[in-house]
Structure formats: C-alpha cells, structure tokens
Chains A and B, each alone.
Chain A
Amino acid sequence: MPTLTLIQAVNDGLKVSMRQDESVLVFGEDVGPKGGVFLATEGLTAEFGKARCFDTPLSEDGIIGTAIGMAANGLRPVCEIQFQDFIFPAFDQIVSEAAKLRYRSGGQYTAPMVIRTPYGGGIRGGLYHSQSGEAYFAHTAGLKVVIPSTAYDAKGLLLAAIEDPDPVLFMEPKALYRHEKGEVPEGHYTVDLSTLRTVREGDNVTVFCYGSMVPVVEKAAAKAAEQGIQCEVVDLRTLLPLDEQGVLDAARKTGRCVIVHEAPRFCGYGAEISAMIAENIIEYMEAPVRRVTGFDTPFPNTLEHHYLPDERRVLDAIEEVARY
C-alpha cells in the first residue's frame, strides 16, 4: 500500500472519483494546469481535459453559485475555494442556496456537490490565510461539514463526500497537507460520513478534536500517558451531522472531557460538544469540561504559534481535568 501525504491522498481521491464518474468535475481558482496553489488538483486537467478540470474567474460567489446549478442539473461538481478565508463572498450561496435547495423545493431539486477548501493556521498566513470557520457552517442545516486529519481519511471521506446526495463542505487542514503521511489504499474506498475515529483509547480523560489539532492532541496524550493519565482521543471527522451518540459514549467513558480546536472559543464548535455533554450526561461528569482553543481575536501572524493550541496547553488542560 503506498504511503501518501494528506494532500496526495486528496489528489488521488479526486482522480479515482473522476475516473469512475464522468459527471464529476473540478474547478476553482488556479486549479487547472497549475494544479492549485497547494497542488491538490495537480494532473487533473492533463488527465481529464479542460471541460472537467478548469480555472474559473476570480469569484467565490460565482464558483459556488455555478456549482449549485451544475449539481441541480445532473453534474457532481467538486469546487475549490483557494483558502477558507476567501469563502465569505460565497457564504450566501452556501447558506441560502446549496444548503436549502432540497428543503425549499420539497426534494424536487438538490445540490449534491463538494466544496473543498484548505483551512487553519500554521503556515504564517496571517489573518486571511489561516482562519478556521467551521462553526459558521456547522450552524447551517442542510450542509455537511467534514474535516479529515489523516491521509487515509482524506481520501475516503472525500470520496464519500462526492458520492453523498447532499452538499458537503470539505475543510482540509493545510498545516497537515505535507506533514501528515500514511498508508492509503489504491483505488476506490470510502469512509462513512458522520462517524468518529477513535485515535487512542484510554480510561481517564476524553479529548475531542479534529483536523490539524489531532496530531497536537496525540502528542499531548502521549505525554500524559507518561504520567499515568490515559486519554481517549476522538477525532470527530464530520462536524455536521455529528455522531452525537458516539460523542456521548466517549465522554461517559471517562467522565472527564477536554475539547481542542484552533478556531476562536466563543460560540465555537467546542461549545456545542460541551453543551451536549451538559444536557445529556452531566451526571456522569467528574470534572468541568475544558476547552483549549484559539483566542477570540483575529488570527495573528508572527505570534501564530502562541495563538494555536499546542502540546503544552493541551497537556495542561488534560492534567487539570484529570486532577479535578
């Protein structure tokens, strides 16, 4: 089985999908002959031609708006927004149109499409190449929000997203594009959406995370284990619709929970996990839920390594919750 980086796995997933289904097409800014600014779409125009992998004018609203029309008329568009920070001109098309088309038409028209977009910090991208906007989208009924953290999941979840009958926002942790490597099967396979991945088993503290925070949490959990604190590490993978039962089971297992994300804290995704635990299983909790997140500020540039939750901050929270 070949070892691929996360971005190579995305590229492989796109190729597998386009080979098996002629209605799948890929477009966005610079995704054609250049292959995208991160090379996620490298080689697609050469293999599948300009009609199926092509550059668009510089309009996020236009990219996603036209993708909706393609999807409503029988194609399976996989469009790319170059950085998630640039998605907001298309927020209207995503929230008002793609997410609501099935509902508002009583199921007569649908928008099966995937919006791929790199998100998150760690590349010295400053305010506008680093944000984690998943909470805006996880608040949107009708949309699915998926964030892989491994090469295997990146390909399997991407194929599942393309084959899904509903619109999927597929957020790729750009910090892991080349740092995350793993064995990836050749050819077609899928990883079911709305399923969790147990990264590490443990009985003392449950840590929920996703995307670029998964390797950070893994390192913190390894350090905690040296002190005898065994962590159950859960990669959420699909934020919407979430496997709520899986989250509650994992939380109940230890009664001590930490949630880690790089997005800002206030109304962040961790708030939902915390509220679910409080509403459903508070009687099993041995300690207050702790969140380790980015600051409620714009994303910094030179100080990004302090903004992003790191191994030390995550370990500190694990220790505090374990001791409580």
Chain B
Amino acid sequence: MVPQVIQLIDESGSAVSQLPDLGKDRLRAMFISMLRVRIVDGRMLTLQRAGRIGFVGTSTGMEGAQIGSAAALKAQDWLWSGLREGGAAVMRGLPLAEYVAQMYCNANDTAKGRQMCNHFQHKGSNYPSWSSVIGTQIPHAVGAAYASKMRGEDVVHSVYFGDGATSSNGFHSGMNQAAVWKVPAVFVCVNNGWAISVSAKAQTAAETYAHKASAYGMPAARVDGNDAVACYATMQAAVERARKGDGPSLVVLETYRIMGHSSSDDPSKYRDEDEVAGWIAKDPIQRLEQYLTSQGFLAEGEREKIEAELLAEIDTVIHEQEAAAPMALKTLVEDVYATVPGHLKRQYNDFIEVAERHGDAQPGDGAFPL
C-alpha cells in the first residue's frame, strides 16, 4: 500500500484539511524563516560566484520542508543535520553571524574553519554538524537518543538526511537499532528527488521511501514537503510520539531541489528543465504566502518589505565577517586530542620554523614549549 501524501494547504494556498492551531505569530515566524533561508542562500551563491566563499549547497525549493518540520521541535530537542539544515539551525538559535563565519571558514567560526562550507553547528541549540560522509549521523542520533532515554530526559532527537542516504549503512543500522531500542528519535528523509545526479527513482526499487520503515518495525508518514504546515503537523505528531516513549518513526518530506546539488554542480547535464519548472510552480514560500494573505496574516506587499529587511540583515553580517581574521596556525594541531600530544607539538614546531623564515607566521603562532 502506498502511504498517502499528507497535504494541508494545496498548491493554490487553500487549506484542504484541518490545520494545526499555530496562530498568526508562529505562522508568520515560519514564513519569515523560510524567506530568510532563500535570501541567505541567494547571497551565499553570489559570494561563491565572486570567489569570496568556496561552496554553497542551497535549500531553494526545500524551505518549507526544512523550516516546517524543524519548527515542531522543542528547544531541548536535538537536530542531527545533513547538508541543508542550516536554515533550521538559524531558526532554532544559530546566530546568523556564526552561520556566515562558517561559510567564510574564518576565525569567528566555532568549528575553527576546519570544515568546508555548509557544515554548520550550534551547541546551544543541540545541532551538531555533519561530517560530509552520507548517513553517518543517523546512528549518532540513535545513540544520543539512547542516552537521553537512559537519563529519563524530555528530549527528542531528530535526524535529517536526503534520499541518497537511505542507501547508506548508517540509515540501515540507525533505523534498525532505534526501533529495537525504542529510542525517542525521528528520522527525517528529505526526498528532494536527486542525490547529486542520481534520481530518487534510481536510488531504490521500493515504491516509496516510507516503505522502508516497515521492515524496521516503525511507522512512517509521507508529506508534501512544499507544504510547510503539513511538514509541521506531521513532524509534530512524530516528535510527540517519540516524546511519549512510543518509539521512533520515519517522516518522508517529498520535495525538490531546484538548484544544483551545490555551487559546483551543473544539473542541466542530468535532468529535464521541464521537471524543474514543474516544481518551481509548487514553490513552498509562495504557497504559504498565499495562505497567510488569504487569512489576513500578511498584508499586501509585506513580503517585499520583509525581504528587504532580511537582505539588510544578511548584508550587515556579511560585511562584518568579511573583515574577520583567518584561523591561527596552531589550530592545525589543536583539538585532535583533548591535549596536544608531543608528536604533534614537534610536527608543528618544525613547520612553524619554516613558516617564520618565510614570513608566513602570525603573532601567537609561535612554537610549543617542549
């Protein structure tokens, strides 16, 4: 049986079912968060084209899936991320300055510029960064959920991944162990149609991604990922189920990646422009805008005003982060272990001697005492 795709607001922006009682303020906040994702992505892409940052993986077309679903999490819950959840992190508390610092990999980056762009983290809102290896974060979420359950905490662990990750070891071991251990976890598969150039249909012979859950003995739901409110409502049910101790479940957000996999990808090589155009017409931001307008929650022309504010906000942050210092050279050998071991001190000291001779060393980059 093919699970029904849950939709609460149709493509014209009309409610087609009972909506969760989010109220005007929360709906507007979701809408603004979605707009911020799009505006920030646009700015990051411009910076990448200008050679200021190295890499961008945008969420264009997926803002509803990301923001709607993550809005159902409580502050104490965790979000184990993949490539494209940075916007959700910002909504949950990641300062925009840290987001941009991570894209610049500069000295303000809490990860000390060590990861390539689009690998955000925010300890304050329980958002660890992903590694780049697909699916490895899935069992991490399960283990962390076990820890929360063992301590009797009121904490749910959500873990986000794409359609491609459903083929990974981590998906299998994570889903399986989560169900056996009955941990408070929610698996969020953002099916955006493409794993770089491999279509979602070429990734699995299963009829839908939701089918995969039944083999692990857990329920699944499929949602119109471009309907932010449906994403919220479905995620909310899955999160509450986990919170009550009823175990994990899988939520599949059916959406589409409008842009390339990243700024390094040319999707025209492998997909049909008509397919893209069809999904652009289902834009999640426009859909929520139409609904909000119809309810009187958004005034005529207000979107443009909000966009202008968001542009000013991101441009201020970019301006600040452009000026930040590069990372100190000592970070080459720090945080490998809790304390820098002798062999790394010696390797660094050998290096810094050459760097100093060539004028590359900064103040504070001096040798370790041995």
Contact = CB atoms under 8 A, between A and B. Distances in A.
Interface of A: 25, 51, 56-57, 59, 61-62, 64-75, 77, 89, 92-93, 96-97, 100, 102-110, 141-142, 144, 164-166, 194, 241-242, 244-245
A29 to B, nearest CB: 12
Contacts of A97: 131, 133, 136, 140
Contact of A103 (B78, B133, B147, B335): B335
Interface in B78-110: 78, 80, 109-110
A106 B114 contact: yes
Interface string B134-167: 0010111111111110110000010000000000
Contacts of B336: 102-103, 141-142
Contacts of B146: 66, 69-70, 75
Given A66-B173, A102-B338, A105-B121, 20 more contacts: A56-B177, A59-B173, A61-B169, A61-B170, A62-B177, A66-B139, A66-B146, A72-B144, A73-B78, A74-B147, A75-B147, A77-B143, A96-B131, A96-B133, A104-B115, A105-B110, A105-B129, A106-B110, A108-B110, A244-B342
B128 interface: yes
A65 B136 contact: yes
A102 B109 CA distance: 14
A57 B176 contact: yes
Contacts of B129: 104-105
Contacts of B145: 69
A108 B120 CA distance: 12
Contacts of A77: 143
Contacts of B342: 241, 244-245
Contacts of B140: 65-66, 68-69, 72, 97
B195 interface: no
16 contacts: A62-B172, A65-B142, A68-B140, A69-B139, A70-B143, A71-B143, A74-B147, A89-B169, A96-B133, A104-B119, A104-B129, A105-B129, A107-B335, A142-B336, A241-B342, A241-B344
Contacts of A59: 172-173, 176-177
B174 interface: yes
Contacts of B128: 72, 105, 108-109
Given A66-B139, A105-B121, A241 B180 contact: no
A61 B139 contact: yes
Contacts of A241: 337, 341-344
* A25, A64, A108, A164 interface centre (most CB from chain B within 10 Å): A108
Given A61-B169, A100-B131, A106-B109, A69 B144 contact: yes
Bin the interface of chain B by size: 35 or more
B212 interface: no
Interface in B54-84: 78, 80
Interface in B319-345: 334-338, 341-344
A92 B136 contact: yes
Given A72-B128, A72-B144, A241-B341, A51 B139 contact: no
Of all A-B residue pairs in the complex, the 9 with the closest CB atoms, nearest first, are A65-B139, A69-B143, A62-B173, A66-B143, A69-B140, A69-B144, A73-B144, A241-B341, A165-B338
B139 A62 contact: yes
A75 B346 CA distance: 33
B39 interface: no
Interface in B176-210: 176-177, 180
B26 interface: no
A106 B111 contact: yes
B141 A69 contact: yes
B112 interface: yes
A75 B119 CA distance: 25
* A64, A69, A93, A144 interface centre (most CB from chain B within 10 Å): A69
* A75, A96, A102, A103 interface centre (most CB from chain B within 10 Å): A103
Contact of A70 (B131, B147, B335, B346): B147
A305 B235 CA distance: 59
Contacts of A242: 343
A61 B169 CA distance: 7
Contacts of A92: 133, 136, 169
Contacts of A106: 109-112, 114, 335
Contact of A67 (B109, B143, B169): B143
B337 A102 contact: yes
A66 B177 contact: yes
* A68, A73, A77 interface centre (most CB from chain B within 10 Å): A73
B123 interface: yes
Contact of A166 (B112, B170, B337): B337
A65 B180 CA distance: 15
Contacts of B334: 107
A166 B180 contact: no
B123 A104 contact: no
Contacts of A25: 150
